[in-house]
């Protein structure tokens, strides 16, 4: 999967699932989704292609990072952050593995 | 709150740094599959150089056997990769066992030797044979990854091989944006 396609895919998947929880703050959420997608999509591609990193830990790391960022940059509500991060990152991983084989 | 802000920034920075380091960039840059190439094989008149075994073991069990079952003839185009790259890092060590044999009907082995390969590229320059022994020199260089995310073998003819730097810069921009968002949020609070 090309870098461009993976970043666009990350933005769509993340924004779709997290906007279900943060519909009112969609502008701030979009900015956060853009930044996190830009940061994680190329990094995941490199980690997947070139290292033996266990992707379960990468998945957990992404969820934790997302929870913290959503809490402190969008809305301070732990349950919303936990549920939306888990949901978005699970589908993100499915999308990533389908795209990269 | 100030302390917490610092912790978050440190987490963001260390997450990025560690991931990049593991991805083959920076101080802990990963080594590439070690490759061995050959030059001057045409100097072996009356002899052939054979690769007999790839092994984890230093002792060459096959060479002790008078009947060598596995053998590959080395030419100038012959290449050996001890590791296929990707995720199979445990295959980065190999003992390559060579045998020098006469090209007559008996294929008598006159010389055997072993080369240990790990994290180094080798060029074997063969200058000839003396008293049945192979005369050669080994040039070695560190087997680092080139700065491209996909290997040439993996990329098809029509595929653009993207430079790893594009990935790294793109990701760094994302992390910088995250840090900027975090700092901005705390200033306005």
- Distances in whole angstroms, Cα of residue B148 to Cα of each of A5, A45, A57, B125: 18, 12, 25, 29
How far is A94 from B171, CA to CA, in rounded Å? 20
Chain B CB contacts of A47 under 8 Å are 19, 22-23
Chain B CB contacts of A50 under 8 Å are 23-24, 30, 85-86, 145, 149
User: Rounded to a whole number, what is the distance in Å from the CA of B53 to chain A's nearest CA?
Assistant: 27
Q: What is the pLDDT of residues A41-79, one digit of tens each?
A: 988 887 876 666 778 888 999 999 999 999 988 888 899
Q: In this structure, what token pair is assigned to residue B162?
A: 């993207």
Residue of chain B with shortest Cα separation from A28: B181
How far is B92 from B34, CA to CA, in rounded Å? 7
Chain B CB contacts of A38 under 8 Å are 170-171, 173-174, 177
Mutate to test the interface with A, among B29, B33, B166, B171 (most CBs of A within 10 A): B171
Q: What is the three-class DSSP state of A28? A: helix
Determine, for residues B181 and A35 on separate chains, whether the beta-carbon distance falls below 8 Å: yes
Q: What is the pLDDT of residue B187?
A: 53
Provide the percentage of residues in chain A whose pLDDT is more than 70.
94
Determine, for residues A3 and B185 on separate chains, whether the beta-carbon distance falls below 8 Å: no
Q: What is the pLDDT of residue B56?
A: 59
> Within 10 Å of residue B171's Cβ, how many Cβ atoms?
23
Q: What is the pLDDT of residue A75?
A: 87
Residue of chain A with shortest Cα separation from B22: A51
Ramachandran assignment for B131, one of left (phi > 0), alpha (psi -120 to 50 degrees), beta (any other): left
User: Rounded to a whole number, what is the distance in Å from the CA of B178 to chain A's nearest CA?
Assistant: 6
Residue of chain A with shortest Cα separation from B160: A2
Pair A100, A70: CB distance under 8 Å: no
Radius of gyration (C-alpha) of chain B in whole angstroms: 25
Q: What is the pLDDT of residue A87?
A: 92
ipTM tops 0.90 = no
First vs last Cα of chain B: how many Å apart? 11
Query: Averaged over A25-45, what is the pLDDT?
Result: 90
Compare CB distances from B166 to A3, A40, A47 and report the shortest one's residue. Answer: A3
SS3 track for chain B? CHHHHHHHHHHHHHHHHHHHHHCCCCCCCCECCCEEEEECHHHCCCEEEEEEEEECCCCCHHHHCCCCCCCEECCCCCEEECCCCCCCHHHCCEEEEEEEEECCCCCCEEEEEEEEECCEEEEEEEEEEECCEEEEEEEEEECECCCECCCCCCCCCCCCCCEHHHHHHHHHHHHHHHHHHHHHHHHHC
Q: Which residue has the higher pLDDT, A26 or B144?
A: A26
Q: In this structure, what token pair is assigned to residue A37?
A: 């997608």
Closest CA to A65 of B182, B131, B184: B182
Site of tokens 């030059």: B39
Domain ranges of chain B: 2-28+148-188, 35-142
Please list the ranges in chain B whose pLDDT falls under 70.
1, 15-32, 53-70, 83-93, 142-164, 186-189
Residue of chain A with shortest Cα separation from B28: A51
Pair B11, B90: CB distance under 8 Å: no
How far is B155 from B167, CA to CA, in rounded Å? 17
């Amino acid at each position: 999967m090309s870098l461009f396609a993976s970043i666009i895919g990350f933005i769509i998947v993340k924004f779709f699932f997290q906007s279900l929880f943060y519909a009112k703050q969609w502008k701030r959420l979009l900015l956060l989704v853009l930044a996190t997608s830009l940061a994680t999509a190329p990094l995941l591609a490199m980690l997947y292609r070139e290292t033996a990193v266990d992707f379960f830990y990468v998945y957990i790391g992404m969820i934790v990072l997302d929870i913290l960022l959503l809490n402190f940059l969008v809305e301070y509500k732990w349950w919303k952050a936990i549920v939306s991060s888990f949901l978005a990152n699970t589908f993100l991983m499915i999308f990533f593995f389908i795209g990269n084989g | 709150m100030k302390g917490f802000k610092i912790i978050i920034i440190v987490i963001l920075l260390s997450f990025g740094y560690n991931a990049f380091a593991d991805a083959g960039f920076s101080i802990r840059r990963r080594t590439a599959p070690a490759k061995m190439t050959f030059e001057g094989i045409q100097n072996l008149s009356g002899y052939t150089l054979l690769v007999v075994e790839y092994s984890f073991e230093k002792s060459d069990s096959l060479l002790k056997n008078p009947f060598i079952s596995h053998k590959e003839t080395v030419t100038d185009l012959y290449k050996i990769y001890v590791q296929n790259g990707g995720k199979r890092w445990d295959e980065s060590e190999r003992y390559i066992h060579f045998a020098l044999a006469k090209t007559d009907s008996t294929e008598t082995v006159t010389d055997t030797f072993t080369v240990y390969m790990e994290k180094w590229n080798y060029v074997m320059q063969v200058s000839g044979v003396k008293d049945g022994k192979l005369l050669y020199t080994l040039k070695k260089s560190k087997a680092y990854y080139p700065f491209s995310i996909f290997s040439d073998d993996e990329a098809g003819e029509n595929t653009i091989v993207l430079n790893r730097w594009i990935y790294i810069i793109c990701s760094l921009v994302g992390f910088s944006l995250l840090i900027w968002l975090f700092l901005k949020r705390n200033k306005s609070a």
